[in-house]
Amino acid sequence: MDDRELHEHLIGQQGSRAALNTPVLVLDLDQLDRNIFAMQAKATDRGVALRPHAKTHKSVDIARRQIAAGAVGVCCAKIGEAEVMIDAGVAGVLITSPVAAPAAIGRLGKLARRAEALMATVDDPQIARSIDGAVARSDALLDVVIDIDPGIRRTGVASADAAVDLARTIADCEHLRLRGVQFYCGMQQHIEDFAARRAAIEERTQYLQTVLDALCEAGFPPEIVTGSGTGTHAIDLALGVFTELQTGSYVFMDTQYLDCDLDGSGAAPFETSLAVDARVVSANHSALVTIDSGFKSLSTDGGSPRVGKGASPDTVFAFMGDEHGALVGPEIGTRLRPGDPVSLVVPHCDPTVNLYDHYHVVQGDTLVDIWPVSARGRAR
């Protein structure tokens, strides 16, 4: 059975959302598309390119929808993710994490030959030289951007001087072409209060501007300034320093982002398109029922999922081990019976998606497609 036949077989078996075997990763197609168009419109209105981050969805199908809506390509976190996207014909991939393992650098060299408009990030002169060597062995050219540390000390050059030094090294590398810089403020994305988030980003943008000025003065004016996330997209667009955005989570919206006032309006500009649908498997207590979703079907780094459809608003979720969770609430054991479905809003979308092989795609309550999580597990 090929993928298509498998999907038709599965869809044939399971026509409605409520009938799906659980736990299952459910994606609402109309909400997804509205999110894709909403972010694209915000960027386009400001004359800024959108290169959404595919680390969030790891899906060729979603990447294609983003590009059809106007995105210039997608970002990937790792070389393995990028290979999946490029093998599927996705152009304009930017790899946003430094590549350092010799095997990964070798693969990057090979990708440079067959990918259309591939870019990589670098933050180290020695690694830049190694990548140059790998690209040379493929007789190719590779575009790169300098990653600038926004102050979290995760990746990126640590000063304007280091950015200029690295730019000089890249200029010496015959097979690399410097296109600009990346500046991703990961720590600021989830500051819940809009004014506090804006103040933090304004301060960070002033620093970015000093690095950009130093690069211009040294003769390396950045053509591309890429960064931003769902949490800061509105602020970054208003400040006008980025030439492209690499927002990711907006396609799904998780509870971490639902708690943030994303654009200062108090209303969420994006919809929650993603859910883990679960099912009651045991209901022998009045104030607690057990469902079939635990650590193996929900990422645990962002707290507990929010209980949506199928339970009353005062119901809370508690992890109960690898395979199970509890829904706790007054009289819940008499309201819900084994077999009843419940829907959960995930705390953190990216690591939850990476637990599933497929998205079950719905419109309303009807299953309309099954898409692979194409780059699932491609962490290297």
3-state secondary structure of 328: strand
Q: Quote the least distance from Cβ 43 to ligand PLP, whole Å.
A: 13
What is the chain's Cα-based Rg?
Answer: 22
Check residue 350 for interaction with Mn ion (CB under 5 A). yes
Q: Quote the least distance from Cβ 207 to ligand PLP, whole Å.
A: 17
C-alpha span between 62 and 353 (Å, rounded): 13
Of 123 and 350, which CB lies nearer to Mn ion in the complex structure? 350
C-alpha span between 221 and 210 (Å, rounded): 12
Determine the size of the site formed for Mn ion (CB under 5 A): 1
**C-beta neighbour count of 87 within 10 angstroms:** 13
Where does this chain bind ligand PLP (CB under 6 A)?
A: 53, 56, 75, 96, 184, 186, 189, 229-231, 246-250
Of 137 and 154, which CB lies nearer to ligand PLP in the complex structure? 154
Q: Quote the least distance from Cβ 350 to Mn ion, whole Å.
A: 4
Of 25 and 251, which CB lies nearer to ligand PLP in the complex structure? 251
Q: Which stretch binds Mn ion (CB under 5 A): 103-111, 221-229, 279-287, 347-355?
A: 347-355
C-alpha span between 48 and 356 (Å, rounded): 33
Of 42 and 53, which CB lies nearer to ligand PLP in the complex structure? 53
**Residue at shortest CB range from Mn ion:** 350
Nearest to 25 by CA among 369, 377, 357, 374: 357
The one of Mn ion, ligand PLP, none whose footprint includes residue 96, by CB under 5 to 8 A per kind, is ligand PLP
Structure tokens of 46? 């400001």
Of 22 and 189, which CB lies nearer to ligand PLP in the complex structure? 189
Structure tokens of 71? 């995105």
Q: Which long-range contacts (CB under 8 A, 24 or more apart) does 28-34 make?
A: 28/271, 28/273, 28/274, 28/275, 28/362, 28/363, 29/361, 29/362, 29/363, 29/368, 29/369, 30/363, 31/271, 31/272, 31/273, 32/62, 32/65, 32/251, 32/252, 32/273, 33/65, 34/270, 34/271
Q: Quote the least distance from Cβ 55 to ligand PLP, whole Å.
A: 6
Of 301 and 357, which CB lies nearer to ligand PLP in the complex structure? 301
Q: Quote the least distance from Cβ 265 to Mn ion, whole Å.
A: 23
Q: Quote the least distance from Cβ 140 to Mn ion, whole Å.
A: 31
The one of ligand PLP, Mn ion, none whose footprint includes residue 184, by CB under 5 to 8 A per kind, is ligand PLP
The one of ligand PLP, Mn ion, none whose footprint includes residue 205, by CB under 5 to 8 A per kind, is none
Distance, CA of 100 to chain centre: 21
**Residue at shortest CB range from ligand PLP:** 229
Q: Which stretch binds Mn ion (CB under 5 A): 112-120, 305-313, 314-322, 350-358?
A: 350-358
Preceding omega of 330 cis (within 30 degrees of 0):
no
C-alpha span between 162 and 110 (Å, rounded): 28
First to last CA, the chain: 28
The one of Mn ion, ligand PLP, none whose footprint includes residue 343, by CB under 5 to 8 A per kind, is none
Q: Quote the least distance from Cβ 302 to Mn ion, whole Å.
A: 8
Of 134 and 251, which CB lies nearer to ligand PLP in the complex structure? 251
Q: Which stretch binds Mn ion (CB under 5 A): 297-305, 348-356, 362-370, 372-380?
A: 348-356
Of 76 and 275, which CB lies nearer to ligand PLP in the complex structure? 76
C-alpha span between 170 and 178 (Å, rounded): 7
Q: Residue 275's beta-bridge partner residues?
A: 26
Question: Which residues here bind Mn ion, judged by CB under 5 A?
Answer: 350
